Chains A and B, each alone.
Chain A
Amino acid sequence: MTVPWLSVAVAVPLLGAALAALLPARLTAAPRLIALGCAAVSALAVAATWVRFDGGQGMQLVEEVEWIPALDVAWRLGVDGMSLAMAALTVVLFAVTIAYGVGPRPMTRAAAALLLLLEAACLAFFLAQDFILFYVAFDLTLVAMYFLIALWGEANRRYAALKFFLYTLIGSLPVLLGIIALYLTSEPNTFDMTVLAADPAVRGAGTGATLIWLAFFVGFAIKTPIVPFHTWLPAAHVEAPTAGSVLLAGVLLKLGTYGLVRVNLQMLPDAFARYALPVALLGLVSVVFGALVALAQRDLKRLVAYTSINHMGYVVIGVAAAAAAGGASRAGELAVDGAVFQMVAHGVVTAALFFLAGFIASRAGTRDLDELSGLMRPMPVYGTLAALAFFASLGLPGLAQFPGELQIFLGAFAVWPAVAALAVLGLVVSAALFLRALQRAFLGEPAERWARLPDLHARELVALVPLMVLTVALGVYPPLVLDLIDSTAWLAGAGP
């Protein structure tokens, strides 16, 4: 009998969450141990899946158990390259975040339970091959993140948590409508995403297809977020605790772009092809707007939050270019591979950046780049790692974000040269803003009050170092993940 590794990866954190919540309060060390143990098991399960993954096309290793027979809803998990890459990103980021912790120490039962619940929901989302499971996971991430922000966030956390919850939940309702519409148009009616992706039931770009496509797009655009649906993001990021920001930027934003690829691109290829240019333009606006607003920020966390909008804009451009070019073309393949690679790279790099912002805030009591100065002197390790992360985020060759962005530009250039050319402007601005931040806060003489700041301690290094290693590894040897992504049939249903 083979072990259902995918179900293990999802179920173990879920059971761990229940266990952590029900523990007696006097076992103070237990929540953290349970969280670490479950995260480790989940990571091993994903690793085992990676080993068994044969690099072929389409969905593999599908595990299916009946759930609600009357609706043809099943516990249906499976992987293709994109799912596996996102699942791997998820388990890594959760492992380091749990190692670092959230809120007061030692980790409380609620914190352990919420982190594990969030991990289970994210994994279920990336692995789900059943639309109801997909939707349930999509919404469950909200609940867990809402409480993470609301319970351990900063001064204005309740407002930010509520805004986050409302925005994204309102975004998820059109997704539900779209799911029902896809279900009813498929023949025979099914929620099975493998079937819907392999042979899209909705063809053409008529009114019906457009509406369904739009319903999904709005939902995923809010999650990503694409300008003008982004206003929840800065508030949520700034008010969230460090662990919350890391997971929000590292994993939760990817839910949106993953959905764009999985549903809008794979299941509604014709409609997406028709509306590809407007989507690319929205992506372009996100790129330019995110970069320019980030340039004006003094708060390091806010700055990173806005660069996330900028970086997710590249992903959107990549997906749109793939939709326009079609799956068969080289440009389309390049663009979508680049987009998915960028999702992984951005997850790793931005997680590191939010950790860095959290570390300095916990020491200096401020993240204001104008107040901070000369940090390299008292904190050489911190400074070096921060410089590395900054360079990775601005897209320096040899670091994680370069390969993805390059592929996106190449793919998009073949379709819309002007869009690609303008998007490069975003790179210039983000280079400027990161270099300026580096110069202002890290170089030069430290002010008196910063001269004695302690450098990173062990727990912080445990969280940060694996991410920096991955940043370099992905940049130096992109095939590590690119082979995985490239091996799958992106646009199985998208014929010429």
Chain B
Amino acid sequence: MNGAAQGASVDWAALSPLLALAGGALVVLMVGLFPGRGVRDRVVPGLALLTLAVTAGLLVWQYDTSTDLLEGALRVDGLTVTLSFVFVVAGMATVVMTWRHLDPVESPGPELYTLLLSSIGGMVVLVAAQDLVTLFLGFELLSIPLYVLCAIQLRRRGSLESGLKYLVVGSVGSATLVYGFALIYGAAGTTGFAGIAEAISGDLSSDVLLLAGLALAIVGFAFKASVAPFHQWTPDVYEGAPTPITAFMATATKAAALGVLLRFLDVALLPAAEAWAPAVAVLAAVTIVVGNVGALGQSSLKRLLAWSGVAQAGYLLAGVVVGTSLGVQATVFYLAVYLLMNMAAFAVIAARERETNLGDSVDALAGLGTSRPWLAWPMTIAMLALAGFPLTAGFIGKFKLIEASVASGYTWVGLMIVIGSMISLAYYLKVIAAMWMREAPAGAAAVAATGPRPALAGASTEAQITAPTRHTRRGTGELTVMAVLFGAATLVVGIVPQPLLDFAAKAGEAFPGLF
């Protein structure tokens, strides 16, 4: 579009979503400096939402773009645009969830939203990267704000522990990644993806230097995508982080990590597919088993979803392994669907954290079917969808992944997805059963019913009453709306998947080298 200009010509239009995110992050930070609770509680989240909305609008505008930017450092194409939508929607949902989530005493202030927007910016850079250097830049821009976000509840031990753990493990992952990049550069002599692909399509594919670099890079990505056996941090970090941040990590970070794997493996390293595909397929299978088995005994919902997220990363890897545009489409579709299902679930968890004093335990959901049907239904749909039940979006998603695997000769990976789904039923149904089959525990019921007066007058001590009422002061209206919206979307996509399939097919078109 702008190619005729001299020197470092920049296609501002294609770059605009990224600029909007970066600009928005700065504006939010500056505005947050103004005093007053109104600014902190309303204006700043509002601005963050506005930034994301503008970014979404720009993405719609750039929907059909397919161009290299900044001397081939970035590429805005179908994959970038579709995944950016996923990040933006996840970001919006996170803003809504954080709005009244954190205790006023802890006062997250504007930095929460600045960090969130920077992290989303990093994700966009990451999936758009066409060069090892930009890729690493995006990787760190995504990670560093997240470390802080995990620890943003300054006075809660769990949050701090979560942030520190994530920082340590994430740094190891980054170091591994950068080491791998160095070796790949050594083997290929260039950092551009196109150059690497060209270099290794010769006889380099058996080069020890390249293979070692490849292995290290995949391990680095595996940390971020919580692929077994590099997943151990996931349950702890997910459990400790504030629930909205957990939701953001579970959906957006996962999408970014899988997106960059798609880009990196299926573009730069496609000529060496023989070298990495079997290894990644094995990783996928191991991840499916480890994640599903790990989820079985969990009683904390956030831990359960963390383990289930590990398993789902395994399913998603199947779409990466096959190296076909069908696989890319399946992966992107599943990432979008995964966002819908998980956000519905996390909205319900966050709502119950406010309403009860049971935190994110499965017990907090007991009896929800009768007491809060508008929360119980989205959660039920989300769990069924995660298990891959027909008429939900999860079914179509898994179906596409299995189809992609079987069509490319990875039938056994497809089989693993099916077996994993079987195991996963045990823990997803446990959640559903808790909502519909159990009575609400007395303590939780009392909290839910606590208005201005204690429900069990005389029976409760002061401490028992005051702790929950502090929670109940914060309403859950927006969370209910959010849960219903995402739950309904999960159902609608399950029944009418064509539009979202077309959307995901756009990402598949971004890979001209694939068939």
Task: Choose the segment among B49-57, B349-357, B456-464, B495-503 that binds chain A (4+ C-beta atoms closer than 8 Å).
Answer: B495-503
CB-contact partner of B498 in A70, A135, A158, A162, under 8 A: A70
Chain B residues within 8 Å of A135, by CB: 390
Distance between Cα atoms of A181 and B402 in the complex (Å)? 10
Given A70-B501, A158-B437, A184-B407, 20 more pairs with CB closer than 8 A = A68-B396, A68-B496, A68-B497, A70-B497, A70-B498, A70-B505, A135-B390, A136-B390, A136-B395, A139-B389, A140-B391, A147-B436, A150-B436, A165-B429, A170-B422, A173-B421, A173-B422, A177-B402, A180-B402, A180-B406
Chain B residues within 8 Å of A169, by CB: 389, 425
Distance between Cα atoms of A162 and B437 in the complex (Å)? 10
> Interface 1/0s, chain A 336-373, versus B by CB < 8 A?
00000000000000000000000000000000000000
Distance between Cα atoms of A162 and B329 in the complex (Å)? 35
Distance between Cα atoms of A166 and B426 in the complex (Å)? 8
Contact between chains at A68 and B415 (CB < 8 Å) = no
Chain B residues within 8 Å of A139, by CB: 389-391
Chain B residues within 8 Å of A326, by CB: none
Q: Report if A176 contacts B (CB, 8 A).
A: yes
> Interface 1/0s, chain A 131-149, versus B by CB < 8 A?
0000110011001000100
Q: How far is the CB of B143 from chain A (nearest CB, A)?
A: 35
A–B complex contacts, Cβ < 8 Å, 15 sampled = A71-B501, A136-B395, A139-B390, A140-B390, A165-B429, A166-B429, A170-B425, A173-B418, A173-B421, A174-B418, A176-B402, A176-B418, A177-B418, A180-B399, A184-B406
Q: Report if A69 contacts B (CB, 8 A).
A: yes
Q: Which 8 pairs show the lowest CB-CB distances between chains A and B?
A: A136-B390, A70-B501, A139-B390, A158-B437, A173-B418, A170-B422, A177-B418, A68-B498
**Which single residue of chain A is at the shortest CB-CB distance from B405?**
A180
Q: How far is the CB of A180 from chain B (nearest CB, A)?
A: 6
Q: 8 Å CB contacts to B: which residues of A372-397?
A: none
Q: 8 Å CB contacts to A: which residues of B393-442?
A: 395-396, 399, 402-403, 406-407, 414-415, 418, 421-422, 425-426, 429, 433, 436-437
Contact between chains at A177 and B414 (CB < 8 Å) = yes
Distance between Cα atoms of A174 and B389 in the complex (Å)? 13
Distance between Cα atoms of A68 and B393 in the complex (Å)? 13
Using a CB–CB distance below 8 Å, which chain A residues touch chain B? 68-71, 135-136, 139-140, 143, 147, 150, 158, 162, 165-166, 169-170, 173-174, 176-177, 180-181, 183-184
Contact between chains at A180 and B426 (CB < 8 Å) = no
Q: How far is the CB of B371 from chain A (nearest CB, A)?
A: 16
Distance between Cα atoms of A147 and B399 in the complex (Å)? 26
Q: How far is the CB of B324 from chain A (nearest CB, A)?
A: 13
Distance between Cα atoms of A150 and B435 in the complex (Å)? 12
Chain A residues within 8 Å of B426, by CB: 166
Q: How far is the CB of B293 from chain A (nearest CB, A)?
A: 16
Chain B residues within 8 Å of A150, by CB: 436-437
Contact between chains at A166 and B425 (CB < 8 Å) = yes
Q: 8 Å CB contacts to A: which residues of B368-396?
A: 389-391, 395-396
Chain A residues within 8 Å of B402, by CB: 176-177, 180
Chain B residues within 8 Å of A173, by CB: 418, 421-422
Contact between chains at B433 and A158 (CB < 8 Å) = yes
Distance between Cα atoms of A183 and B331 in the complex (Å)? 20
Distance between Cα atoms of A139 and B392 in the complex (Å)? 12
Q: How far is the CB of B329 from chain A (nearest CB, A)?
A: 9
Band of interface residues on B: 20 to 34
**Which single residue of chain A is at the shortest CB-CB distance from B505?**
A70
Chain A residues within 8 Å of B390, by CB: 135-136, 139-140
Chain A residues within 8 Å of B505, by CB: 70
Chain B residues within 8 Å of A166, by CB: 425-426, 429
Distance between Cα atoms of A147 and B407 in the complex (Å)? 37
Q: How far is the CB of B234 from chain A (nearest CB, A)?
A: 25
Contact between chains at A184 and B422 (CB < 8 Å) = no
Q: How far is the CB of B423 from chain A (nearest CB, A)?
A: 9
Distance between Cα atoms of A21 and B255 in the complex (Å)? 36
Chain B residues within 8 Å of A69, by CB: 498
Contact between chains at A162 and B433 (CB < 8 Å) = yes
Chain A residues within 8 Å of B391, by CB: 136, 139-140
Distance between Cα atoms of A169 and B414 in the complex (Å)? 17
**Which single residue of chain B is at the shortest CB-CB distance from A174?**
B418
Q: How far is the CB of B295 from chain A (nearest CB, A)?
A: 15
Q: How far is the CB of A68 from chain B (nearest CB, A)?
A: 5
Distance between Cα atoms of A323 and B269 in the complex (Å)? 50
Distance between Cα atoms of A181 and B418 in the complex (Å)? 13
Which of B390, B422, B498 has the largest count of A CB atoms less than 10 A from its CB? B390
Distance between Cα atoms of A71 and B404 in the complex (Å)? 12
Chain A residues within 8 Å of B501, by CB: 68, 70-71
Q: How far is the CB of B432 from chain A (nearest CB, A)?
A: 9
Distance between Cα atoms of A176 and B497 in the complex (Å)? 18
Contact between chains at A180 and B414 (CB < 8 Å) = yes
Distance between Cα atoms of A87 and B505 in the complex (Å)? 39
Contact between chains at B422 and A177 (CB < 8 Å) = no
Distance between Cα atoms of A358 and B165 in the complex (Å)? 59
Distance between Cα atoms of A150 and B432 in the complex (Å)? 12
Chain B residues within 8 Å of A181, by CB: 406
Q: How far is the CB of B148 from chain A (nearest CB, A)?
A: 41
Chain B residues within 8 Å of A158, by CB: 433, 437
Distance between Cα atoms of A158 and B438 in the complex (Å)? 9
Chain A residues within 8 Å of B406, by CB: 180-181, 184
Chain B residues within 8 Å of A180, by CB: 399, 402-403, 406, 414
Chain B residues within 8 Å of A165, by CB: 429
Distance between Cα atoms of A243 and B59 in the complex (Å)? 54
**Which single residue of chain A is at the shortest CB-CB distance from B329?**
A70
Contact between chains at A184 and B403 (CB < 8 Å) = yes
Distance between Cα atoms of A68 and B501 in the complex (Å)? 9
Chain A residues within 8 Å of B418, by CB: 173-174, 176-177
Distance between Cα atoms of A176 and B433 in the complex (Å)? 24
Q: How far is the CB of A290 from chain B (nearest CB, A)?
A: 27
Contact between chains at B502 and A70 (CB < 8 Å) = yes
Q: How far is the CB of B430 from chain A (nearest CB, A)?
A: 9
Distance between Cα atoms of A380 and B418 in the complex (Å)? 54
Contact A162/B429 with A177-B402, A177-B414 known, Cβ cut-off 8 Å: yes
Q: How far is the CB of B404 from chain A (nearest CB, A)?
A: 10
Chain A residues within 8 Å of B389, by CB: 139, 143, 169
Distance between Cα atoms of A174 and B414 in the complex (Å)? 11
**Which single residue of chain A is at the shortest CB-CB distance from B426?**
A166
Distance between Cα atoms of A140 and B396 in the complex (Å)? 15
Chain A residues within 8 Å of B407, by CB: 184
> Interface 1/0s, chain B 40-60, versus A by CB < 8 A?
000000000000000000000
**Which single residue of chain A is at the shortest CB-CB distance from B498?**
A68
Which of A162, A180, A184 has the largest count of B CB atoms less than 10 A from its CB? A180
Q: 8 Å CB contacts to A: which residues of B86-125?
A: none
Q: How far is the CB of A216 from chain B (nearest CB, A)?
A: 13
Distance between Cα atoms of A177 and B498 in the complex (Å)? 22
**Which single residue of chain B is at the shortest CB-CB distance from A179?**
B399
Distance between Cα atoms of A169 and B399 in the complex (Å)? 16
Chain B residues within 8 Å of A184, by CB: 403, 406-407
Chain A residues within 8 Å of B496, by CB: 68
**Which single residue of chain A is at the shortest CB-CB distance from B419?**
A173
Distance between Cα atoms of A71 and B501 in the complex (Å)? 10
Q: How far is the CB of B505 from chain A (nearest CB, A)?
A: 7
**Which single residue of chain A is at the shortest CB-CB distance from B333?**
A70
Distance between Cα atoms of A177 and B415 in the complex (Å)? 8
Distance between Cα atoms of A424 and B395 in the complex (Å)? 44
Chain B residues within 8 Å of A177, by CB: 402, 414-415, 418
Q: How far is the CB of B82 from chain A (nearest CB, A)?
A: 15
Distance between Cα atoms of A174 and B399 in the complex (Å)? 13
Which of A166, A169, A181 has the largest count of B CB atoms less than 10 A from its CB? A169
Distance between Cα atoms of A150 and B403 in the complex (Å)? 34
Q: 8 Å CB contacts to A: which residues of B476-515?
A: 496-498, 501-502, 505
Chain A residues within 8 Å of B422, by CB: 170, 173
Distance between Cα atoms of A68 and B422 in the complex (Å)? 25
